[in-house]
Every structure is written in structure tokens, then in C-alpha cells.
Amino acid sequence: MSSPDCSGNLTYLAQHPLFDQIKELREDIVVPEYCYAGGGELQSLNAWFGPHGTVTPLHHDPHHNLFAQVLGRKYIRLYHASISEDLYPHMETMLSNTSQVDLDNIDVKEFPRTEDLEFMDNILEEGDLLYIPPKWWHYVRSLSTSFSVSFWWRTSIVPS
């Protein structure tokens, strides 16, 4: 993750099923009871590990997400699911949950509807949990070397 010999390319272990591969690490993870609310069923448990400056572009996920910051700090920006069209999702099926907008360099001429959208900024510190509802758009940037765990679950209750 960090080396004085590194050319500046960032290594980012993103949305990785690390706990399926290293069973000993899985024993250290306790699934929060929130994930079982509403008859919840855990869908995925993923690791996110990388150095300062790694970015997950603006996107949304189909499941409830409880995002746990284990080590380091992360900046997360959230947009409500109801404004999806104003975030210019890609038209290709494979990327339809990902925005065409680069939040680090917004081109308001190309994406004019993004200019005045409401959003929520969050800084997650070690030990913090952030709930991200299904279909809510989120952008993530590491503010330091960090390790995070995402708990994705599904319920039979559809959020309003």
C-alpha cells in the first residue's frame, strides 16, 4: 500500500470478498444487528483497503449498505435516490449505476443539472458507521490510508 519506491500509482483493494478468502479475518467481523432489521438478510461483506487519495466514483448500489470505517478516514458525499437522472447515469447496462459526472472536476456545461443539487458531506473516522440506503448515490475518497468494511443486506420491506 505504501512504498518510497512506488511510482505514485495507487493500489486499491475495492469491494473485495477478502473475508471469504481469509477465514481468520472473518472471525474478527461481527455483523451489526442493523443488518437484520426488517427481516434483513446479509448479501455481501466486502473489504476496502487503500492509501490516501483512492476514489470510488459516484454510483449507487441495489442493497442497504452499512459502511464501517475501521482504520483511517474517508470523505463520502451522498445524493438522494430521487435525483438519479440529474446525476447523468451511464446509459450502458453494465455502468447504469455509475454517474458520468466526475465530482473532482465537474463540467457544468456538459452536466448542467448537477450544479445546484443538494447533497450531504460526511467524514468517517475510525469506528464510525454510515448507513447508505439502496439506490442512494455516493462518492468516496480516502483521506488517509484506510480500511473499511461494507455490509450489504436486503430486506423484504421496500424503503419509501
Which one, of 78, 56, 60, 69, lies nearest residue 12 by Cα?
56
Mean pLDDT along residues 125-137: 97
pTM: 0.86
Mean pLDDT along residues 112-128: 96
> b/e per residue, 54-65, with b = 16+ CB within 10 A?
bbbebbbbebbb
85 vs 38, higher pLDDT: 85
Domains and CATH numbers, the chain: 13-146 (2.60.120.650)
Residue-wise pLDDT tens digits, 33-83: 989 887 888 998 988 888 899 999 999 999 999 999 999 999 999 999 999
Q: What is the pLDDT of residue 111?
A: 97
Instruction: Give the sign of the dihedral formed by CA 75, CA 97, CA 101, CA 52.
Output: positive
Q: Write down the mean pLDDT value for the chain.
A: 88
| Helical H segments across 4-121, by residue range | 18-21, 23-26
Determine which of 7-11, 51-55, 96-100 has the lowest per-residue pLDDT on average: 7-11
Q: What 8-state DSSP symbol labels residue 85? A: G
